Each structure stands twice: as structure tokens, then as C-alpha cells.
Structure 1
Amino acid sequence: MASRAYSIPNLLTYGRILAVPVIVLCFFIEGKLESSDFARWTALWLFIIASLTDFLDGYLARIWNQTSNIGRMLDPIADKLLVSTCLLLLAADTEKTIAGWSLWAAIIILCREILVSGLREYLAALKVSVPVTRIAKWKTTIQMVALAFLLAGPAGEKVLPYTVEIGIALLWLAAALTMYTGYDYFKAGLKHIVDED
């Protein structure tokens, strides 16, 4: 069990969790919430590396036959921590990268993640597993790409015009897919909740 806990796929997952506070610290380099160009580029590269571990940990666990209970538990938690923290950070930063109506896209994503986590926990107690669909994987990918554009934000605008606008458009697309996949999960889980009554 101990060797599984310290397998390379699990170490990548731990690394993704540890990247979360470091990304936040990038915006607090001067002791206050500051989104300087340096902070944004550093946070972006950390986020890209953390996002790549999301693909790598599952892939390596499968091909090396190193899947484990701790990995299955921590992988979705690491994803949610990374996405949720970045959404909150971008809504609070001095540039207000996510603001106005775009906050609704962030709220939809956050609410869905909490609701689906609760549903999964309830169904796990009933020994019911809800598999991750292909469209849910696309949703996660689009979320990550949207957040990468938004983390680059005004710093990215100096390299690629409309960086923030592209990020916001992708965030809304991710929010739409989030609602769709959330509905799918609840539809799949609802029959077990109703049957239980």
C-alpha cells in the first residue's frame, strides 16, 4: 500500500495539489494581491505544468498498472482545488479578470463541482459508481485552457491581443458544458436516490 501511495502517478497528483498555494503566492509576491506581469507569467507556467500532470497521472497509472485508491480519491480533488482556486483568484485580483457577467460562468462551474462531489460521495456510500464521460473530459480541458488564457490576462495581451476575451469566451463554453455534464450526472444518480426512498 505504501509503495502505491508513493508511485509516480500519485506523486504527480500530490504535486498538482502543492502547486495550488504556490500559484496563489505568485499574486501575493509584494504582500498584497497584485497581478503584475511577472506574477501572471509565473502563475501561468505553474498552472500549465500542474494541468499536464492531470493528464499524465491517470495515463501513467493505467499503462504502468499503478492505479490506487488514494490516486482515485485525490485526482478529482486536485482538479477541483486547482480550478476553484484559480477562479477565485482571478475574480479577486486587482485587474478583475473575471468580473461582471463573467462571474456567473465561474459560479456555475464552482456550484456544479460542489454538487457533483456531493452526489458522488452519496452514491459511493450506495456502492454506485458514476463513470466520467468523454464530454466531461472535454469540459475539464476547456476549463484548463480558459484559465490559462485568463491567468495570462493583461500580460498575455502584450503578446496575443484579446487574450482575456478568448479566456472569457472559453470560460462560458466550459460553463455550458459544466451544466450539461452536471445534468447528466444528476440524471444518472437520481434513479438511485429515488429507488432508495
Structure 2
Amino acid sequence: MQWTLPNILTLMRLIAAPGVAIIFLILPRPYADWVALILFVTAAITDWLDGYLARLWKQGSRFGAMLDPIADKAMVVIALATLMGLFGFQTLLILPVAAILFREVFVSGLREFLGDTAGTLKVTVLAKWKTTVQMVAIAVLFSYGVFEHHFVMNSLGMSPDIVAQVFAGEIADEFNLVALSGWANRAYFGGLVLLWLAAALTVATGVDYLVKAMPHLREDRHD
């Protein structure tokens, strides 16, 4: 095990994964939303940075190659579980989440079963795009909580009629309610679109890995 900077960044990303969920047990919202968003985005950046540094400094290692996909999966799975807790079991959210989780479990099991021949399931360019889109989608959905809770805090004490008049332009929007509502809507629907795209890429890469693994899964028959 080599304690190079790329490996340390990967390990930090793995440790940060449960922190995205635990922070909601420690801090009230929207502070928890802010910290979770910053923590997740920072961890996502290290996903690119550790690989770049490992290639640049020629510090690739078996430890890093083993830990990197584990850290990626931990970040995505725990973040998705956290989002499910925040948003509830909405159909538009649970379907892509279920597809992503199923693929991750399936491919991990496939790699474990193949053992020494798992090298045939090398990470493809499409799989890298899948991971990127997943992380962007999750970050955007976390940002929804930030906008939504600032909207709630800024409109606290206002009657529904006053809020409606603010949106109608009849009352000055001193607390930026219209802007916060607009950004919340963009984050919610934009995040869902990206998550569905990530789910489609996830399923596509899962099928690709299965096709590549099929020659190693056939039973040998001796007549």
C-alpha cells in the first residue's frame, strides 16, 4: 500500500461518502444542505484529480486501482440514499435511483464472480461519462435543498396571499422569493433530467459489461 497523494485523495473521498448523510444528523437545514453540497462537489473533484495526478506523476498503484471504484460507488450510493430521504419516494426519483443501484450491485457481483478474469471488464469511456453525469445530477439535486430552504426561511411569517402578490409583482420582492423559487425549480427538474440520463448510461454500461462477460459465464459441455 503506497501513501501517495492520489491514494490519499481517494481515501479521503471514501471517508467523505458517509459524511454526506451524517451531516444531516448533525446540522439543521439549510446548513446541512450547504455542507453536503460542498462536501460532495469537493469529493467529486478529487475523483478527477487523483486520477490525473496518478497519471501525471506515474503513481498508479494496485491499492489506488482497488480503492478508486469503491470510493466512487460509496459516494454515489450514499448520496442517492440521502436524496431519497430528503425528497421521499417520488416516482420520478425512485425509478432512476433503483436502476443505478441495481446496476452497481450487478456489476460488482459480476466482477467478484469472474475473479482473475474480471480484467475483461475494464472501465470504458462510456462508464466514465456515466460516473460524471451521476455526480453532476446528485450535486444539482443537493442544490435544490439549498434554494428551497432559503425560500422557506425568507417567506417565513408571510401569508399565502402576500407570497402570491410578490410573485404577481404587486409587492416588492425584498427577499428574492421569485429568484429562489426559480432556481429551486431549475435545480429540481434539471437534476431529475440529469439523473434519468445517468440511469440510461448506467444501464447501457451494465449491458456492455454483461455482454463482455458472457464468454466467461458459459458452461463447458463435454458430450
Q: What TM-score, normalized by structure 2, do the two folds share?
A: 0.78
The ranges of structure 1 where at least 4 consecutive aligned residues each deviate by more than 4 angstroms after the TM superposition are none
* 2:117 aligned to which of 126, 133, 137: 126
Return the letter of the residue paired with 1:13.
T
Distance in 2 between the 1:86 and 1:140 partners?
Answer: 13
CA distance in 2, matches of 1:196, 1:48: 47
- 8 Å Cα contact 2:92/2:192 also seen in 1: no
What CA deviation, in whole Å up to 9, does each residue of 1:129-175 have, x standing for no partner?
32211111111110000000111123235272421111011000100
**Superposed displacement of residue 195, structure 1:** 6.0
Q: What is the root-mean-square deviation in Å for CA atoms of aligned residues?
A: 1.8
Q: Pick closer, same or farther for the CA change 1:9–1:196 going to 2, 3 Å.
A: farther
Q: Contact (CA 8 Å) 2:30, 2:145: kept in 1 or not?
A: yes
Name the SS for the 1:101 alignment partner: helix
Give the counterpart letter for 2:21 in structure 1.
Answer: V
Is residue 2:34 matched to residue 1:41?
yes
CA distance in 2, matches of 1:103, 1:132: 26
Give the C-alpha shift of residue 101 in structure 1: 3.3
Q: Check conservation: 2:137, 2:191, Cα contact below 8 A.
A: yes
Is 1:16 aligned with 2:7?
A: no
Q: Could you tell me which amino acid in structure 1 is paired with residue 7 of structure 2? A: N
Q: Is 1:60 matched up with 2:57? A: no
Q: Secondary structure at the match of 1:165?
A: helix
Larger Rg: 2
Give 3-state SS (helix, strand or coil) of 2:26's partner. coil
Residue equivalent to 1:138: 129
User: What CA deviation, in whole Å up to 9, does each residue of 1:56-105 have, x standing for no partner?
Assistant: 11111111111111111110000000000011111012x43x62232010
Match of 2:195 in 1: 171
In 1, the alpha carbon distance for the partners of 2:140 and 2:118 equals: 39
**Is 1:162 aligned with 2:153?**
no
Q: Distance in 1 between matches of 2:108 and 2:13?
A: 19
Equivalent residue number for residue 107 of structure 2: 116
1:192 aligns with 2:216: yes
TM-score w.r.t. structure 1 length?
0.88
Counterparts of 2:104 and 2:66, CA distance in 1: 15
Asked if residue 26 in structure 1 is aligned to residue 23 in structure 2, the reply is yes
Amino acid at match of 2:111: R
Question: C-alpha distance in 2, partners of 1:184/1:169?
Answer: 23
Which deviates the most, 16-25 or 127-136? 127-136
Q: Distance in 1 between matches of 2:112 and 2:57?
A: 28
Q: Whole-Å Cα distance in 1 between the matches of residues 220 and 102 of structure 2?
A: 25
Gaps of 5+ in 2: 149-179
- For the pair 1:75 / 2:68, whether they are aligned, the reply is yes
Asked whether the equivalents of residues 149 and 156 of structure 1 are also in contact (C-alpha less than 8 Å), the reply is no
Secondary structure of the residue that 1:132 maps to in structure 2?
coil
Question: In structure 2, how many angstroms separate the alpha carbons of the residues matched to 1:123 and 1:25?
Answer: 34
Instruction: Please say if residues 105 and 175 of structure 1, whose CA atoms lie closer than 8 Å, have aligned partners that are also in contact.
Output: yes
Contact 1:139 1:178 in 2 (8 A): yes
Paired AA for residue 57 in structure 2: W
Summarize the Cα distance change of 1:73–1:196 in structure 2 as closer, same or farther, 3 Å threshold. farther
Provide the secondary structure at the position in 1 that maps to 2:58.
coil
